[in-house]
Amino acid sequence: MEPNLFEAVDAYIEQLFVADSKPAILENCEREGIPNWAVSANQGTLLQVLALTCRATRILEIGTQGGYSTAWLAGALPENGKVITIEIDEHTANVARTNLSNAGVGHKTEVICGNALDVLQQMITSGTVPFDMVFIDADKPPYKEYFEFALKLSRPGTLIIADNVVRGGKVLDEDSDDPAVIGVRRFNETLAANKRVRATIMQNVGTKSHDGMAIAVVL
């Protein structure tokens, strides 16, 4: 099948199911020099469906970037709900705060600027209340560690999602020297072997080309 067929179907799905694709966030990211690694509008909608499925009021996101997926997740929350999202770069974190405020979800989001591994350790040390859903979408080499922290910040029923775990099929290459491929392969194997979760990977095609999201529920 040709890739443009996947894109055409993605556009068809978006036209049916997405009333507002939040272009202002992506436009502001472009103005601010932030790379466009955000999820697609259809993937954002999927994140909303998943957040609503687990009736999430507390969501943890690892990797904010411009706040595009954060805004989708916040859109699935009740008024008293919160997405706590971690971004390593200060400029990017500030752009995300502006984007989320402009999108009308500033009160439902908290952007923490810092190294996620440190912030997550601090959350565990301080006895943070478990999250209902975790979305991992940051740098790929420490995905396994992000997952292990996510599990510690979970309760039975928590949904853990991880973006970009297929990478155009590069994930099949067990001899890859690409740090992102090595990172997601390590994560995928850890996820598959972990007895505390039931998980799978859903391949995605469309405007973001060929990739996949891991979906796990904590038992």
Which residue's CB is nearer to ligand DHB, number 21 or number 128? 21
Per CB under 6 A, does 164 bind ligand DHB?
yes
Binding partner at 64 among Mg ion, ligand DHB, none, C-beta below 5 to 8 Å by kind: none
Which residue's CB is nearer to Mg ion, number 61 or number 163? 163
Per CB under 6 A, does 43 bind ligand DHB?
no
Smallest gap from residue 170 Cβ to ligand DHB (A): 11
Binding partner at 87 among ligand DHB, Mg ion, none, C-beta below 5 to 8 Å by kind: none
Within 13 Å, how many C-alpha atoms sit on residue 168's CB side? 6
What are phi and psi for residue 27, nearest 5 degrees? Answer: -65, -45
Per CB under 5 A, does 163 bind Mg ion?
yes
Is 163 exposed, middle or buried (CB count within 10 Å of its CB: 0-12, 13-18, 19+)? buried
Task: Quote the Cα angle for 112-189-65, to 5°.
Answer: 25
**Percent of the chain that is helix, strand, coil (3-state, to 5):** 45, 20, 35
Which residue has tokens 């971004």?
87
Which one of residues 13, 14, 32, 37 is an interface residue with ligand DHB (CB under 6 A)?
A: 37
Which residue's CB is nearer to ligand DHB, number 65 or number 158? 65
Which residue's CB is nearer to ligand DHB, number 72 or number 81? 72
What are phi and psi for residue 102, nearest 5 degrees? Answer: -65, -30
Per CB under 6 A, does 92 bind ligand DHB?
no
Smallest gap from residue 164 Cβ to Mg ion (A): 4
Distance between start and end Cα atoms, the chain? 37
Which residue's CB is nearer to ligand DHB, number 81 or number 119? 119
Per CB under 5 A, does 65 bind Mg ion?
no
Q: Report the alpha-carbon distance of residue 25 to residue 44 in Å, rounded.
A: 13
Which one of residues 93, 136, 137, 188 is an interface residue with ligand DHB (CB under 6 A)?
A: 137
- Alpha helices (runs of H) in the chain, residue ranges in sequence order: 3-17, 23-31, 41-53, 68-74, 90-102, 116-125, 143-152, 179-193
User: Residue with the closest Cβ to ligand DHB?
Assistant: 37
Which one of residues 163, 185, 197, 216 is an interface residue with ligand DHB (CB under 6 A)?
A: 163
User: What residues make contact with ligand DHB under the rule CB under 6 A?
Assistant: 37, 137, 163-164
Instruction: By CB under 5 A, name the binding residues for Mg ion.
Output: 137, 163-164
